[in-house]
Amino acid sequence: MKEFFKVDTIEGVLAHVPSFTAVDTETVALADCLGRVTAEDVFSDVDIPDFNRSTMDGFAVKASSTFGASEANPAYLNVRGQIRMGERPDFSIGPGEAARIATGGMLPEGADSVVMVEHTDVLDDTTIEAYRSVAPGQHVIEKGEDIRHNQPALKAGTRIRPQEAGLLAACGRTETSVFRRPRVGIISTGDEVVPVDQVPGEGQIRDINTQTLSDQVLAAGGMPMVFGIVRDNRDDLMDKCRRALESTDMVMISGGSSVGARDFTVEVLDALPDTAILVHGISISPGKPTILARSGGKAFWGLPGHAVSAMVVFAVVVRPFLDRLCGLSQTVRRFPVQAVLSRNLASAQGRVDYVRVRLVEVDGQPVAEPVLGKSGLINTMVKADGLIAIGMNTEGLEKGTTVEVMPL
């Protein structure tokens, strides 16, 4: 067992991510794939689009027929006909010819561009004048320009957003193989913790962490499984941990990770079979007394009891492990928002301080305003839009510094 509070860096903790494996896979209907992660490369069964199509209402033409056209010297074009939506044109376009076409219509043979209807005037039923020239391919999507037949449309490890779901539909996928949603067990500990529907007595507090951690798991693509509150009793905690490990892919305990006479998390982990403590203490504030163990190949977390600390640790450290279980590609990045710091911030060296900030706009520029408060104050997270990190070898940040805000 690791020595108490022989802290690891954040980078040291995240180095354990590749040692855990993604959950197994399942096949789901297209209608149910939103938010899931692809478990295989997806290929299209056709070229997308599978014909040259117009992106504008106007006239399909040979681009060369419009070269040099202007309002003072328009090009006169003979109209061959109108292209019906969803049909292949039964005529071709030659020099000096045009055909009426709507957005999404199929270009006839010989046409390579579209003149926008706004840049034409109709002279009679068979003649138009075009007073704007077009280049070959202008206002046209060519066959296969979006996705080529039998080329990968989506890589395995991709989170399916509405746009990815649309691409699956374009590829003719009515169902797809995805990683199962990881099941994450959530346990709250402490004699002072009471259920949400109970009025807390003196020295007691409602169970905030079960709700906040459950929602963070849901937002990350996992399935929270709540195992309730465990009093400060070693045998009860041992039983609850065993049951959680049997039915989930990862377990989180909030509370019981600090040095306390009645904190049994480390003792229980040490007693569980096939369990090794990987980390006990991270150089981060808030959230230093965080535990990471491997139990039977599953990640087991001991998170701080304070709600803000637990949420920050989840966002910064736990989330990458859950991403790994979800099957997300290692190339996934969460891009921060850049903002200017509104005031000086002090920091202790030797740890990474995560400060809650509110984003406001001042003179058209994003500004990060620190939301100061102790780690037990949940309202500070409600007021915050994100977190900024003050490096472990930094004594603080000065007002006006450009900072990167990790969205919450």
What distance in Å separates the CA atoms of residue 216 and residue 314, rounded to the nearest whole number? 8
Helical (H) or strand (E) element with 253: strand 250-254
* Amino acid (one-letter) located at 317: V
Identify which of 61, 67, 58, 124 has the alpha carbon closest to the alpha carbon of residue 96: 61
Identify which of 243, 187, 223 has the alpha carbon closest to the alpha carbon of residue 26: 223
What is the pLDDT at residue 5? 56
* Amino acid (one-letter) located at 363: D
CB burial of 254-283 (b: ≥16 within 10 Å; e: otherwise) equals bbbbbeeeebbbbebbeebeebebbbbbbb
The residues facing 4 across adjacent strands are: none
**Fold of domain 337-407:** Beta-clip (2.40.340)
For the whole model, what pTM was predicted?
A: 0.84
**Fold of domain 10-24+180-326:** Molybdenum Cofactor Biosythetic Enzyme; Chain A (3.40.980)
CB burial of 86-101 (b: ≥16 within 10 Å; e: otherwise) equals eeebeeebeeebbbbb
Query: Is 285 in contact with 348 (CB distance < 8 Å)?
Result: yes
**Fold of domain 25-48+145-179:** Molybdopterin biosynthesis moea protein, domain 2 (3.90.105)
Q: Domain-by-domain residue ranges, the chain? A: 10-24+180-326, 25-48+145-179, 53-141, 337-407
Instruction: Count how many residues are written for the chain.
Output: 408
- Neighbouring C-alpha atoms within 13 Å toward the C-beta of 249: 21
The residues facing 26 across adjacent strands are: 178
**Angle, CA 14 vertex, CA 156 and CA 161 arms, to 5°:** 30
**Which residues are within 8 A (CB) of 385 and not within 5 positions of it... i.e. 6 or more apart?**
357, 358, 359, 405, 407, 408
CATH superfamily label, 53-141? Molybdopterin biosynthesis moea protein, domain 3. (2.170.190.11)
Check the CA dihedral 327-333-337-342 and report its sign: positive
**Angle, CA 234 vertex, CA 233 and CA 237 arms, to 5°:** 85
Q: Residue 8 CA to chain centroid, in angstroms? A: 27
Q: How far apart, in Å, are the Cα atoms of 202 and each of 191, 193, 205, 377?
A: 12, 11, 9, 18
Widest CA span of the chain, in angstroms? 94
List the pLDDT tens digit at each of the 408 positions of the chain: 444 457 899 999 999 999 999 999 999 999 999 999 999 999 999 999 999 999 999 999 999 999 999 999 999 999 999 999 999 999 999 999 999 999 999 999 999 999 999 999 999 989 999 999 999 999 999 999 999 998 889 999 999 999 999 999 999 999 999 999 999 999 999 888 999 999 999 989 899 999 999 999 999 999 999 999 998 888 899 999 999 999 999 999 998 665 553 467 888 888 999 999 999 999 999 999 999 999 999 999 999 999 999 999 999 999 999 999 999 986 556 678 899 999 999 988 889 999 999 999 999 999 999 998 877 788 888 899 999 999 988 889 999 999 999 988
